[in-house]
Each structure stands twice: as C-alpha cells, then as structure tokens.
Amino acid sequence: MFNVTRRQALAASGGLLGTLLAPQRFADAAAGNTLNIAYNVNLPSFDPDIGPSSVNPTIQAIYRSIFDQYIGQKPNLSFEPGLLTGWGWNDDKSKVWMDVRQNVVWHDGTPFTPEDVIWSIQREGKQGGGNPVSFIWAGIDNFKTDGNRITADVKQYDPVLFKWMAFLTGYVLPKNYYEKVGPQGFEKKPVGTGPYMVDAYEGDAYLRLKANPKYWGGKPTFETVVFKFVPDATSRVAEIEGGSSDVTLEVPYEEYDRLRKTAGIKGVCTPISDIGQIFITNGGIMDDKNVRLAVCHAIDKDAIIKRLLRGYGVRIDTLEAPEYAAYDPSIKVSHDPALAAKLLAASGYSKEKPVKFTIQTTRGFKPKDYEMIQAIVGMWRNVGIDANIEIYDIAKHFELRMSHRLAPAAFYNWGNAIGDPTTSTGFAMWSKSPHSAWHSDDLDAKIGPLWGEKDEKKRIAGWKAVDRYIAEQCYILPLLQYAQPILYKSDLKVTPNVSGALQPATLISKA
Amino acid sequence: MLLAVVVKRAAMALLTLAGVAVVVFVLLRVVPGDPVAMMISPGASAADIAALKAHYGLDEPLLIQFWIWIKGVVSGDFGVSITLHRNVAAVLADRLPATLELAAAALVVAVALGGSIAIAGTLMRRTAGEAVIDGLNSIMLAVPDFIWALALVLLFVIAIPILPLTGRIDPVLAEGFHTKFYLAESIVTGRFAVAGNILSHMAMPTLALALPLAAVIVRLLKQSLKEAMVQDYVLLARIKGFRELRLVLQEALRNAVGPTLALTGVQFTFLIGGTVIVERIFAYPGIGNLAIDAVINRDFPLIQGLVLLFGLIFILVNIGVDLTVAALNPRLRHA
C-alpha cells in the first residue's frame, strides 16, 4: 500500500512548485554545449528519400544534420564534396563516375561503403517506391565498383543529375541497417553518417541530437542540439524573446526588426532561394497578350517590397534569382501603369469597363502573401483590371495546378535550392511538367531542346533566352525573392544559407 | 436495466461511428487536395504520378479503397500515415495520452475554478462582489481559448518569464517513461521533479483551455445555486441556524449540480476539440497538433483515424456523462 503522510504530501507539493518555477530552465544554453532552435516546422518522418517530407525544403536542415548527401552544398549554393569526393561524366556523357569518401562510419559504428551509395540510388530510383523524384535517380543504372570508385551507365542524360545529389532526396542511407530494421524500424531509430545522431524524438514537440564524435567532417561545436518544433510564428518570437531558445527563424519582419535591436539578440535577414510568383494560366482571358502584359506592367514590385515586407526581399523579373546559374540582370519588366492602360485599351478594356478575372492566393503561407495580392489587385484596378481574390490552401493549389485548373492568376512560392534553371523556369513553364500553368507550343519548342543539352554554356545561354522570351510574353509573373529572417542570441554566430536550410553543424557556432 | 441502457448506447455508438467513417472517407475524396499532387516533383511524368498513387493505394476505385480501409479498421489496422510512415493506430496511441492528460487537467482546473467562483458568487449574491464576479465571468466567457493562450504567453513568457512555452516536457528529462502518460507515470513513480517540469509545461495550455469552460460552469452553477437557495429545504436549514457556507455546500450544491455536470460533460468534448489550436500555439504534442499537420498534408489515413478517434471520444464521454447523471439522480435512473 502506498501511504503518504501530510508532511510528505506538503514536501512533494513544495518540490513540485519549486521545480515549476525553477529559473534554471532559462539559463543561457548557448554558453553551454546545448543549442536550442525554435524551428518553424515539425519533422514528420526520418526518411529523407521517401514520402512528402523528403521534398519539403524546410526540413532539409534537420536531414542534413543526421544524414549526409552525395554531394555537399555551401551556403552560397556552390557545391562541395559530400559522401562523394569526386564525380563527373565521361566525354560522351554515356557514363558517370563517383568517388566514394573513405573512412566514414555510420552512427551504429558500421563502415560506410560504395554499396550504400548504389543501394540508395537504386532505392530512390525505384518507380513506385515512394520517392517523389524517382525519375532523376532512375537515369543511371548498371553500377560497377572498383575500389572506392563507382561507375554507371547513363540511361537518360540529365545535366542536373549531380546537382540533385545535393538537393531533395539526395541522401545516402545505410543499406544493411535499413534492410535489417525495415522502414518502420528506421523511423524508430534512424542511422546516418551526419554530424549529429538522433538521441530523442517526440513528434510535434522536439528532436534532440547529440554530436557524432566520429564525424568525418570533425566533431560539431555543440554537444547537443534540440530542434523544438514551433510552427506558430508568435510562439517562435516568444521563444527567442523569453530566452527559451537560442535561435529561431521565419518570424514576421516587424518582429524581426523589433527583436534584433533588443539587448542580447542579433539578427540576420538575407535573400534565399524562395521566389514569390503569380502563375498565369492560359485557356481563358490570359490568352490575350495585351491583358497579360498589362497584368505585368501594372505592378510596382519595389513598392510592395518596401512597404509590405519592410524592404526584405529582392525584386525579380524572371524566375532566376541573382544566385542562380541562369540569372540575367538585363531582363527587365518595367513598372509602367500608363503602358498597362494603353495595352488594355487596345483590347477594349478601361477603368470604366475593366477586364475581370480571379486571382488565387494563400493566406499566411508566406509572409504577407494575402496582403501582397490585395496590393496588386489595387494596382490593377488603377489601370482597368478588376480581379477577384480567392483564398486557397497549398493542397488545393497543387491539385489545381496539376490538373491545369488554376485561376487565370494564382500566387505561389517556388523554391530552387540548387539554382539550376531546369528546377525553376524549366519545371514551372514546360507544359509536360505537372506543375506548370502556362501550356503553349511556342514555349515548349524553346524549352524542349534544353533538357538534354550537353554543352553547359550553351544550355545556360538557352535558358536565359527562354527567360527573356517568357518576360516579353508575360507567361508568368515573378514578383520577388524572399529574405529569411533569423534571430539568435548574441553569443552565437550564424551564417545564413541561400538555400534557407539552417543546419546547425556548419552554420551556427559560438561567437 | 442499466446494462440494457449500456448495450443500447453501445450499439448506437457503433452505428454512429460507422456513419462517421463513411462521411469522413467520402468528404476527404470530395474536397480539393490530393496528397500525391503535393509531393510529386515538377518533372514527374504521368507514369511517375501513377506509380506514387499506387504506392499509397490511391489508384484503386473508391469503393475498393473504402473496403480495404474499413476492413483494416475492424481488425485494428488503420493503415499507414502518408507523412509519418507509421501505423496510424500506433501514432494515435502515442499522441492521445498527451491530449487526455491536458484535457483532464483543464477539466479539473475548470471545475475547481468555476465551482469556487460560482459558490463565492452565491455567497455574495445581491452585493457588489456578485457584480464584480459576474463582470469578470463575462470576460472569461467572451474570450476564446486561443486568445487566452496568447495572453498567457505574453504574461508568463515575455513579461514574467517563469513558465516554459513549448513542448510537453524539457527534452533533457524526457527519458525513462514506460507509458505515454508522462504526468500520471511520473507522479505514481514518485519522480516529482519530472512531474513538476511536466506541470510547468502544461500550465499555460491548461489554463487557456480551462478558463472559458470555467466561465460556463460559473454561469450555470451559480444560477442553479441561486434557484436552490430559495427552496423550502434550504429555508428549513436556515431556520435551523445553519451558516450560509454550509447551506450552499451541504444543502443547495448537491441538488444544483446536476445540470452543471451534464453540461460540463458536453463541454469536455468541445474542450478536446479546442486542443487543436491551443496545442499548436504551445507546440504540445497531442492529437490536436497532429490533426492540423494531417489536414495540411492531406494525410488521408491519418485524418480518417483522427476523426474516428474524436468521434469515439465524443460518444464515450456522452455515455459516461449520461450514466453519471443517472447514477446521481434516481429519477433519471428509472426513466
């Protein structure tokens, strides 16, 4: 029998109260060896190669902490050796070769081998295996190993193959361990080669990582890293302001400006590879070129960035951000309301007799998305465009886009962390892509030959020409490149990453 | 007699759950949002898309999909979550205890707070004190739980930082549990420091959920007590010389508590529904937080499992309340 005396009950109550109000929870964690990050998304799954999470860009910082990619990526989007120390094509691009890093061990202590690389690529490339970009990985086959060098035949040439090795689903998993424990066993106890090992995890609450002492890139700065999953932006602000977390990101720009001036907190807010854009869907009112061009010329992007985003953002006129391989600063679409009105008049529209259509937008998915569209609708009204705003969620956007049923104008955010034109202009504008909205033969004829172009200079020049043509025709309306606000305690040093992935091992250190 | 009532209610519950299963299954397929559309790469071909649909079993005709799912549900297999890659039943079993502990704590706080204020208001009736209590109660009633949550964050995290904001427990302490009922287990096993840490994490979400419910209890119980206080049996006790507090607690409360109990039971189910937003704000790992992610990602198997679970909880709580009220009120027992 469990007997409790009044005295014991009082003592226990006192203990509870004391613990409840204990101040040590708010001790400066960064001064120790634990780094607490108030992170903006939950981690649903540990498998970085299969399922919806594997193509969620916001989770990549966590995956990169536990696993390694075939090829690494620097914060400026350039590439560096990862688990592959060298890679390339043969002269006629019919074969690839990959040199596998030696003396690497998995978190369970077993050695990492070329077999792990081959097995991972084959698993990722298996059609119907759950990898959302299996077509990329299925492009090479017939693997052979010679020491630490792997060679493979190219089934279908894709110039971006090696860039994908540093991108979504480009992670190496342990063949023997995975086959032994199975998918659900792997979810319970994931094993990688990355700088951190999984110590404890509670979905929707936190992920606790401990440093991998045998990491091939050297032991990380912090012994323990805790990702707290805090999807609510207000709560993330409170986490950093109250001192419970050392770093947070993706807070409202107003809060960022307020908190970065607070004692003990610093901030950095630089452009990342997220593009805010308005898809134009053909098959209706947008088939009228005058209307399309008026839609583009009527918008003052600089004013939107300055007034709504407090200056945090970069105006763009193509789908290529300045950090991307095919960025061409000479392509400009002017803000010219008079021209917009003139173009509309040529098609019989005016302020009195406006052209009418619907624009779809998310609300709260990206900073000020709905407010931006409100502002744009206001600018359009001034030249003779009467747009009706319809709010949708991301799931609906994807379904409508895949079935070519988006409204004539539809706002969305497009990420492209490897900065290649195929993964921005290409997939957004090629009519065969399930994620394009403008489908026309003239554009396909220009894009088509570029997919398999083997001359890299010619390929990039070709994409720049496509971007210029799209801007001239206004087949899509690029708005801005987003900036990512990061707040952190002043005893830390944070290096922003253009890809937006804030992996603690390489980007956060003690000041 | 009671057994017959229970059997009848159980049969009704099964029918209701079957209806819920059909409705949620059909609704998910009718409303826009395709889980495969959300994960396919822009470069995916029609064959890639078809392969992904087949991988998640979404390529079969709707009737076949429903048959496969409902057959699994009957045998306890709710399918595998698309986003979490885990068995849905296991995920729900992991998350439900957190929500149950939070909801139970909120209920206890709401009943204690609401009951105390109602009794205080009854004792102070026809005085300035009653007006103050009514005024404060109106505010408590008017402010929704998520606004309370934000107000508490401002107070206890920013202004006077004494409470942790997110999670269910300090990650450093989250070890050595044999069940997912962290609070109950830590108290039973005498780990009071851990229990204290859990309580500190639960304090704000509990209060945010409890305050609106407490206000409902105050309003109803105070009214019931007021009516009871003018009944003959109370007058008789007053003539006998009983003090006011004893009159309320011993004579009026027992007769007045019935309607409050019934309403509290119904409100408890709404309280569990209220955890969805509150859990999100406090990053509390319960089924409410899980539900938001499941809907955003159109994780069909998980949403279906969650809706069935919410339905089951709703039904069980209602049966429990009916039986409790019947047990307390002999007239209803034989009705």
Q: What is the pLDDT along chain A (511 residues), one digit of tens a residue?
A: 445 455 555 444 554 454 444 444 434 544 579 999 999 999 999 999 998 888 888 899 999 999 999 999 999 999 999 999 999 999 999 999 999 999 999 999 999 999 999 999 999 999 878 888 888 999 999 999 999 999 999 998 999 999 999 999 999 999 999 999 999 899 999 999 999 999 999 999 999 999 999 999 999 999 999 999 999 999 999 999 999 999 999 999 999 999 999 999 999 999 999 999 999 999 999 999 999 999 999 999 999 999 999 999 999 999 999 999 999 999 999 999 999 999 999 999 999 999 999 999 999 888 899 999 999 999 999 999 999 999 998 888 988 988 899 999 999 999 999 999 999 999 999 998 888 999 999 999 999 999 989 999 999 999 999 999 999 999 999 999 999 999 999 999 999 999 999 999 999 999 9
Separation between Cα atoms, residue A233 and residue A100, nearest integer Å? 41
Separation between Cα atoms, residue A371 and residue A97, nearest integer Å? 49
Closest by Cα among A209, A208, A212 to A193: A212
Q: For residue B300, list chain A residues with Cβ-Cβ distance below 8 A.
A: none
Taking CA–CA distances from B88, the nearest residue in chain A reads A184
Q: How many CB atoms lie within 10 A of CB A442?
A: 9
Between positions 201 and 260 of B, the ones with CB within 8 A of A are 203
* DSSP secondary structure of B88-111: HHHHHHHHHHHHHHHHHHHHHHHH
Q: How many CB atoms lie within 10 A of CB A31?
A: 12
Taking CA–CA distances from B188, the nearest residue in chain A reads A2
- Listed in sequence order, the residues at least 6 apart from A137 whose beta carbon sits closer than 8 Å to its beta carbon are A121, A122, A124, A125, A131, A164, A169
Q: Which residue has better confidence, A49 or B324?
A: A49
The mean pLDDT of B108-114, rounded to a whole number, is 94
Q: Check pLDDT > 70 for residue B238.
A: yes
Query: pLDDT value at position A7?
Result: 53
Closest by Cα among B241, B321, B300, B322 to B39: B300
Separation between Cα atoms, residue A95 and residue A78, nearest integer Å? 23
CA B203 to chain centroid, in Å, comes to 16
Query: pLDDT value at position B40?
Result: 74
CB A464 within 8 A of CB A426: no
Question: Which member of A23, A44, A205 has the closest CB to residue B83?
Answer: A44
Give the range of the structural domain holding residue B209, as residue numbers without chain letter: 101-291
- Listed in sequence order, the residues at least 6 apart from A90 whose beta carbon sits closer than 8 Å to its beta carbon are A96, A97
Question: Which member of A21, A393, A433 has the closest CB to residue B42?
Answer: A433
- Judged by a CB distance cut-off of 8 A, whether residue B59 touches chain A is no
Q: Which phi and psi angles does A202 have, rounded to 5°?
A: -135, 115
The mean pLDDT of B110-127, rounded to a whole number, is 91
Residue indicated by tokens 């000041």: A511
Instruction: Give first-to-last CA distance, chain A, whole Å.
Output: 55
Query: pLDDT value at position A26?
Result: 39
Half-sphere exposure for A209 (CA within 13 Å, toward CB): 32
Q: Check pLDDT > 70 for residue B1.
A: no
Residue indicated by tokens 């998520």: B146
Structure tokens at A22: 């204990």
pLDDT tens-place string over residues A367-391: 899 999 999 999 999 999 999 999 9
Check residue A222 and give left, alpha or beta (phi > 0: left; psi -120 to 50: alpha). beta
Minimum distance, in Å, between the CA of residue A99 and any CA atom of chain B:
27
The share of chain B scoring above pLDDT 90, in percent, equals: 41
Separation between Cα atoms, residue A442 and residue A470, nearest integer Å? 10
Which range scores top for mean pLDDT: A72-86, B16-30, B70-84, B127-141? A72-86
Question: For residue B114, is it within any domain?
Answer: yes
Taking CA–CA distances from A45, the nearest residue in chain B reads B84
- CA distance to A85, A380, A442, B33, B302, per residue, from B79 (Å): 41, 48, 46, 19, 8
Q: How confident is the model at residue B330 (pLDDT cuts 50, 70, 90)?
A: low
Q: Which phi and psi angles does A455 have, rounded to 5°?
A: -85, 110
Backbone Cα Rg of chain A: 25
Question: For residue B197, is it within any domain?
Answer: yes
Structure tokens at B335: 């009705």
Residue B275 belongs to a domain with what CATH number? 1.10.3720
- Structurally, chain B folds into a number of domains equal to 1
- CA distance to A104, A117, A217, A219, per residue, from A214 (Å): 8, 19, 9, 7
Task: Pick the residue of B38, B297, B306 with the most A CBs within 10 A to test the interface with A by mutation.
Answer: B38
Chain-chain contact of B296 with A436 (C-beta, under 8 angstroms): no
CB A297 within 8 A of CB A340: yes
| Identity of the amino acid at B318 | N
Separation between Cα atoms, residue B189 and residue B170, nearest integer Å? 18
- Judged by a CB distance cut-off of 8 A, whether residue B79 touches chain A is no
Backbone Cα Rg of chain B: 24
Taking CA–CA distances from A226, the nearest residue in chain B reads B171
Question: For residue B192, is it within any domain?
Answer: yes
Q: For residue A206, list chain B residues with Cβ-Cβ distance below 8 A.
A: 167, 171, 174
Between positions 220 and 239 of A, the ones with CB within 8 A of B are 226, 228-232, 234-235, 238-239
Separation between Cα atoms, residue A29 and residue A70, nearest integer Å? 33
Q: Check pLDDT > 80 for residue B275.
A: yes
H or E, element range at B258:
helix B253-281
Query: pLDDT value at position B4?
Result: 78
Q: Which residue has better confidence, B10 or A64?
A: A64
CB B288 within 8 A of CB B275: yes
- Residue ranges with strand state E in chain B: none
Half-sphere exposure for B28 (CA within 13 Å, toward CB): 26
Between positions 300 and 359 of A, the ones with CB within 8 A of B are none
Mean pLDDT score of chain B: 87
Q: Check pLDDT > 90 for residue B265.
A: no
- Residue ranges with strand state E in A203-342: 206-211, 224-229, 247-249, 265-280, 313-315
Verdict on whether the full-model pTM lies above 0.90 = no
Structure tokens at B39: 């994960």
Separation between Cα atoms, residue A356 and residue A409, nearest integer Å? 11
Query: pLDDT value at position A24?
Result: 41
Query: pLDDT value at position B260?
Result: 86
- CA distance to A29, A57, A488, per residue, from A35 (Å): 6, 22, 11
Query: pLDDT value at position A238?
Result: 93
Query: pLDDT value at position A22?
Result: 47
Closest by Cα among B93, B207, B231 to B150: B207
Query: pLDDT value at position B329?
Result: 66
Task: Give the length of chain A.
Answer: 511
Minimum distance, in Å, between the CA of residue B134 and any CA atom of chain A:
31
CB B270 within 8 A of CB B145: no
- Listed in sequence order, the residues at least 6 apart from B173 whose beta carbon sits closer than 8 Å to its beta carbon are B193, B194, B197
Query: pLDDT value at position A434?
Result: 85
Note whether ipTM > 0.85 here: no
Chain-chain contact of B39 with A52 (C-beta, under 8 angstroms): yes
Taking CA–CA distances from B52, the nearest residue in chain A reads A128
Separation between Cα atoms, residue A408 and residue A359, nearest integer Å? 7
Helices B145-153 and A233-241, packing angle to 10 deg: 20
